[in-house]
């Protein structure tokens, strides 16, 4: 079913980053979408067990980092371990967006968002954020497209 859904609804691969005080973290996410034009709103679906979830709840800010198609290892790095136990930013180059969120050097574009609402959606929660900062860092880059089997092979 997951393979079918990811084929039927093509999506990019993103790293959603967050700063809560001194702590920074990021996690790979495919379930990211624009949901309003005016104001510009972006929704991210984050499962409550993720360390990133509590950090976004507390900080009220998140940043969507769009990955180019050659960033597969980075997507796995941020998607298969938790910031609860590991500093995933160790050795990773980044800068800082307007409100303090990390912006990966490897991202071709980013959107920093201020949370305006959230709603439960099954086993995930949708954080809806208004875009407060953003930039395209590499206009030539081709986006990575999420394919279930590339990451979760055969299930």
Ligand X SMILES: Cc1cc2nc3c(=O)[nH]c(=O)nc-3n(C[C@H](O)[C@H](O)[C@H](O)COP(=O)(O)O)c2cc1C
Q: Which residue is nearest to ligand X (CB)?
A: 79
Binding status of residue 79 toward ligand X by CB under 6 A: yes
* Contact residue for ligand X among 2, 5, 69, 81 (CB under 6 A): 81
CA distance 120 to 75: 25
Q: What are the structure tokens assigned to 65, written together?
A: 């980092």
Binding status of residue 61 toward ligand X by CB under 6 A: no
Contact by Cβ (8 Å): 88, 96: no
Nearest to 29 by CA among 9, 14, 48: 14
Binding status of residue 34 toward ligand X by CB under 6 A: no
Binding status of residue 31 toward ligand X by CB under 6 A: yes
User: Of 19 and 51, which CB lies nearer to ligand X in the complex structure?
Assistant: 51
- The DSSP-derived string for 45-71 is EE-TTSHHHHHHHHH-EEEEEEPBTT-
User: Of 28 and 65, which CB lies nearer to ligand X in the complex structure?
Assistant: 28
Residues that bind ligand X in the complex, under the rule CB under 6 A: 13, 25, 27-31, 45-47, 50-52, 75, 79-84, 124, 146, 151
């Amino acid at each position: 079913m997951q393979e079918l859904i990811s084929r039927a609804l093509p999506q990019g691969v993103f790293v959603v980053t967050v700063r809560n005080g001194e702590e920074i973290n990021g996690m790979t996410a495919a379930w990211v979408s624009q949901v309003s034009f005016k104001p510009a709103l972006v929704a991210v679906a984050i499962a409550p067990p993720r360390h990133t979830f509590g950090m976004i709840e507390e900080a009220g800010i998140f940043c969507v980092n769009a990955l180019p198609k050659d960033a597969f290892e980075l997507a796995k790095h941020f998607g298969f371990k938790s910031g609860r136990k590991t500093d995933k930013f160790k050795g990773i180059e980044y800068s800082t967006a307007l409100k303090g969120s990390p912006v990966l050097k490897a991202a071709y574009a980013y959107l920093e968002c201020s949370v305006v609402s959230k709603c439960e959606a099954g086993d995930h929660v949708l954080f809806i954020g208004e875009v407060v900062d953003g930039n395209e860092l590499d206009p030539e880059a081709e986006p990575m497209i999420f394919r279930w089997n590339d990451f979760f092979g055969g299930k």
